[in-house]
Chains A and B, each alone.
Chain A
């Protein structure tokens, strides 16, 4: 089991730890509800050092990134960031990721911890025909996410880092007093304003300790999932997998079919033209039972299984039983009545927009 540089501090703080993506990670410190609400109303900090960082550099970097990535980095300004996916030729998703553009010759790809080995092998394989260098820097970087409406103020007052000049999905580099280069971006995975800070372990440990001394709420992966879920953000492994395309996951806005060829493009073009056979939707489930990953979704008028739940919770912010589900396309229209099997009982459900909570991003 791998550990992040903050592992010892999490254990000292009494966090509930559990394995995630090969790391022993904090799931919660106080309670998922308390941490979730802190991010929605003030701010909280997450150790996300398990995330992977891969640099792509070289004269063909823009061309190469555009070849393996669904979004279009060519027109992106330097210090801009895009969300998108890497696809298999059949349209299934290798991973979803953030691409940070330093300039047209240098990119940082931030990938899911669970996919680091798979992604690096895939990127290196695809890179064979391009004049680029691929460097997996995952072991060199630790990462914190400071999230919530007070994140900017907190980062300024506690860490002395001014984020007010950063627009949403942009980044900058700072040099700390000891010469450490720190990357700060206005990004996150919670549906709130916030920042992500990438730096070597020693710097991240000192930042974490200062945030704790200032009384900032430490947050675990438990509320990271409840927060991203409410904002309708996908989690790789749930809403996106090697078998699920971004078109099926209702994430077509991050797939730029007109930018030129990229791996998986033709499959997405075909899915768009022919229509998908299944789609990720939002569901509201009536009654007290909570829909969970893997539970069956049934038609309203028969016991035909028409899909399954990908993520489900009793929403902490909205206090409703909500889910994202992958269902047959003919059941995907808003307002479609469906049912969900929760153990031995069956509960009524209805298709609703999967962005359950409207994010408060700073534009």
Chain B
């Protein structure tokens, strides 16, 4: 079982029950569909610190670069190296193909994020 939380800027933090202090961070299917084909993911390096609400990298479509914001604070323990060679994995399945894995320093930050219902409502309001 895993639980998923969202930032309004369309990043998610996925938490597996077995490892409640680890967050898999990526972009949502809605964000991936809006971006179009991903051509490059600018990721931090392992051991870099990320801060909740702050930029940790960028995702590039043909058209533009979009900043990536971290839903949680902590240390990057792994980056998804598959994305270096094949960034379009994000278009295929953005939840499965997370971008960074974070050892959270404060898991209570999750409570400030949107749940699936609130995030869906946000996406609907963004579509005109």
Which residues in A have some Cβ–Cβ distance to B below 8 Å? 16, 27-28, 31-33, 222, 225-226, 288-290, 292, 313-314, 316, 342-343, 345
Contact = CB atoms under 8 A, between A and B. Distances in A.
A222 B34 CA distance: 13
A287 B117 CA distance: 40
27 contacts: A28-B36, A31-B36, A31-B62, A32-B36, A32-B37, A32-B61, A33-B37, A222-B36, A225-B63, A226-B62, A288-B40, A288-B84, A289-B40, A289-B42, A290-B39, A290-B40, A290-B60, A290-B65, A292-B64, A292-B65, A313-B62, A314-B40, A314-B60, A314-B62, A316-B62, A343-B65, A345-B42
Given A290-B40, A290-B60, A316-B62, 18 more contacts: A16-B36, A31-B36, A31-B62, A32-B61, A32-B62, A32-B63, A33-B37, A33-B62, A222-B36, A222-B62, A225-B63, A289-B42, A289-B60, A292-B65, A313-B62, A314-B39, A342-B42, A343-B42
B58 interface: yes
A28 B33 CA distance: 12
Contacts of B40: 288-290, 314
Contacts of A289: 40, 42, 60
A241 to B, nearest CB: 20
Interface of B: 34, 36-37, 39-40, 42, 58, 60-65, 84
A343 B56 CA distance: 11
Nearest to B60: A290
Contacts of B34: 16
A345 B43 CA distance: 11
A27 B62 contact: no
B104 to A, nearest CB: 23
A32 B58 CA distance: 20
A343 B65 CA distance: 10
A342 B84 CA distance: 17
A345 B42 CA distance: 10
A31 B58 contact: no
Contacts of A313: 62
A71 to B, nearest CB: 32
Contacts of B64: 292
A337 to B, nearest CB: 23
A345 B60 CA distance: 15
Contacts of A16: 34, 36
A125 to B, nearest CB: 36
A82 B64 CA distance: 32
A316 B37 CA distance: 12
Contacts of A343: 42, 58, 65
B119 to A, nearest CB: 21
B45 to A, nearest CB: 11
Which of B42, B63, B64, B84 has its CB near the most chain A CB atoms (within 10 A)?
B63
A31 B64 CA distance: 14
A120 B36 CA distance: 36
Contacts of B39: 290, 314
Nearest to B39: A314
A228 to B, nearest CB: 14
A288 B60 CA distance: 10
Contacts of B61: 32
Contacts of B60: 289-290, 314
Nearest to A28: B36
Contacts of B63: 27, 32, 222, 225
A155 B110 CA distance: 57
B37 A31 contact: yes
A345 B40 CA distance: 14
Contacts of B58: 343
Nearest to B64: A292
B18 to A, nearest CB: 33
Q: Max chain A CB contacts within 10 Å: which of B34, B62, B64?
A: B62
A224 B89 CA distance: 26
Contacts of A292: 64-65
A292 B61 CA distance: 11
B67 to A, nearest CB: 8
Contacts of A345: 42
